Amino acid sequence: MSVVTSNLIQGPAEIYTAAFGTTEPSDSAINTAPSASAWTDMGGTMDGVELELTQEYKELTVDQLVDIPARRLTKRELNFKTKLAEPTLDRLNWALNSATGGVQSGAGVESLEPDDSSAATQPTYSAVILDGYAPAGLRRRIILRKVLNVEGVKTSYKKEDQTVYEVGLVTHYVSPSIKPFKVVDEVAP
């Protein structure tokens, strides 16, 4: 098998977020940023964006065979990790699953305080669009329809390192007709 060098991909992705259930851009709008009135550009990232799809399968066995005759998918999880390089209070609020009273503005200041609702309170899910590259230098859009930051938020202030918000989000079930994620590749005409 020969290598098709135009299939190799390198480069960053742009991240956009919106409330869970926000209307997604059409597939044909792959070369256009999502609507700024509905989707928020999360700005710069550091060390890229990492997506990991894990799947767990349960073995089906029978007494009459020593080999495993089949498996069934029992769990699927798409993890999304990045470091947000622009550590604003709005980005912190999003990284906290909007589980705060929101960013409050005052005379020359902004503030953010955590929400102290019951642990049984429904979390605030969001949606994420990743716009990056596909083979042949074309575009790829990955839509994560229902995500929650489950790893918390890591940040540090160090003399030698840039301050970032590290986040780790996971996709969740949406409905029988709406899948948790979608990948759209632009193709050459």
Q: Does 3 fall in a domain?
A: no
- Which residue has tokens 């609020």? 93
Judging by beta carbons within 10 Å of its beta carbon (0-12, 13-18, 19+), is residue 177 exposed, middle or buried? exposed
Residues 14/19/23/26 CA torsion (nearest 10 deg): 10
* 9-25 mean pLDDT: 95
Q: What is the pLDDT, as a whole number, of residue 118?
A: 67
What DSSP line would sit under 94-160, residue for residue? HHTTT-BS--EE-SS-EE--B----TTSPP--EEEEEEEE-GGG-EEEEEEEEEEE-S--B----SS
Mean pLDDT of all residues in 51-71: 97
Give the pairing type, strands 126-133 and 14-19: antiparallel
pLDDT of residue 80: 95
- Mean pLDDT for 114-126 is 78
Is residue 128 within 8 A of residue 170, CB to CB? The reply is no
Q: Is residue 80 part of a domain?
A: yes
Residue 74: which H helix or E strand, with range? strand 70-84
Task: Give a yes or no: residue 12 inside a domain.
Answer: no
**The pLDDT of residue 14:** 96
Residue of 53, 86, 60 lying closest to 164 (CA atoms): 86
Average pLDDT of span 86-101: 88
Q: Residue 155 falls within a domain, yes or no?
A: yes
CB-based contacts of 185: which residues, under 8 Å, 6+ apart?
134, 135, 138, 139, 140
Q: Over the stretch 131-188, which tens digit does the pLDDT of each residue have?
A: 999 999 999 999 999 999 998 888 889 999 999 999 999 999 999 999 999 999 999 8
What pLDDT was estimated at residue 7? 93
| 25 occurs within a structural domain | no
Q: What percent of the chain has pLDDT over 90?
A: 82
| Count of domains forming the chain | 1
Higher-confidence residue: 115 or 3?
A: 3
How many C-beta atoms surround the C-beta of residue 15 within 10 A? 22
Q: Write down the pLDDT at residue 98.
A: 84
Structural domain of 55 = 41-179
Q: Check residue 94 and give its pLDDT.
A: 92
Residue 172 inside a domain? The answer is: yes
120 vs 72, more confident: 72
Q: Identify the band that residue 1 occupies on the pLDDT scale cut at 50, 70 and 90.
A: confident
Domain assignment present for 15? no
pTM: 0.90
**Rounded Cα gap, residues 168 and 166, in angstroms:** 7
Percent of the chain clearing pLDDT 70 (strictly above): 98
Is 89 a member of any domain?
yes
